[in-house]
């Protein structure tokens, strides 16, 4: 999300496709402002009809809501009414690092904490990649998901064995049926 919230990829188990869409994203792609409320609203619209016990949204931001139509707290209340839990992650440091201006001056931690509280989620603060990995691992432990009845395509192709058998049987049939005969000159 940015100036406007939009769907990068629909809900899917196609993880390679999701990863490709994330890698294609760039900073500023969706605009220079932050529409947290609209992003939550769009996610709720997509998730509200999903039949699942635990519907979870992870909101990762380095800013404060400064555009959009829906306020973050109103969006959080809508999410809560649809039993969607939101884990909020504030990204950034509170101090300026040498050679980097990576502060979280715009980060509205109070609003992120309120969103998490309203939806029965949790607020986390990520200051670097390692802390972000730990946060996602924690969320994974809190929201352990088991897939029952999930059917996956085999990753190994087995068509070659029946194909080879069919070709072998066809070769035997052609040779033994008399349709194929060779003389010494190589003529048919």
d(CA 95, CA 101): 9
Which CATH number characterizes residue 122's domain?
3.40.50.410
Task: Note whether residue 167 is domain-resident.
Answer: no
pLDDT digits (tens, 9 = 90+) for 76-99: 999 999 999 999 999 886 555 444
Residue from 82, 159, 76 nearest 123 by CA: 76
Kindly indicate the confidence band of residue 47, based on its pLDDT and cuts at 50, 70 and 90: confident
Quickly state the pLDDT bin for 101 (edges 50, 70, 90). Answer: very low
Q: Which domain holds residue 25?
A: 15-142
Residues paired with residue 87 on neighbouring β-strands, in sequence order: 58
156 inside domain: no
| Sheet order of strands, 84-91 included | 55-61, 84-91, 123-126
The answer to whether position 126 is within a domain reads yes
What number is the average pLDDT over the span 47-54? 78
Contact yes or no for 90/123 (Cβ under 8 A) = yes
pLDDT by residue (tens digit) across 115-141? Answer: 999 999 999 999 998 998 999 899 988
pTM: 0.66
Number of domains forming the structure of the chain: 1
Predicted confidence (pLDDT) at residue 163 exceeds the cutoff of 80: yes
- 63 lies in some domain: yes
132 belongs to a structural domain = yes
């Amino acid at each position: 999300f940015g100036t406007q919230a939009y769907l990068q990829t629909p809900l899917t188990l196609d993880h390679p496709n999701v990863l490709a869409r994330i890698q294609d994203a760039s900073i500023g792609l969706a605009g220079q402002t932050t529409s947290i409320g609209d992003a939550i609203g769009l996610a709720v619209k997509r998730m509200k009809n999903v039949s699942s016990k635990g519907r979870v949204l992870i909101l990762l931001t380095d800013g404060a809501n400064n555009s959009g139509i829906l306020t973050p707290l109103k969006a959080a209340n809508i999410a809560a009414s649809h039993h969607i839990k939101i884990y909020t992650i504030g990204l950034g440091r509170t101090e300026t690092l040498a050679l980097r201006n990576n502060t979280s001056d715009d980060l509205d931690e109070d609003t992120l904490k309120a969103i998490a509280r309203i939806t029965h989620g949790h607020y986390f603060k990520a200051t670097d990649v390692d802390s972000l990995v730990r946060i996602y691992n924690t969320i994974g432990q809190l929201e352990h998901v088991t897939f029952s009845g999930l059917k996956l395509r085999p990753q190994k192709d087995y068509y070659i064995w029946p194909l080879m058998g069919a070709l072998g049987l066809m070769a035997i049939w052609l040779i033994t049926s008399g349709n194929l005969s060779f003389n010494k000159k190589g003529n048919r």
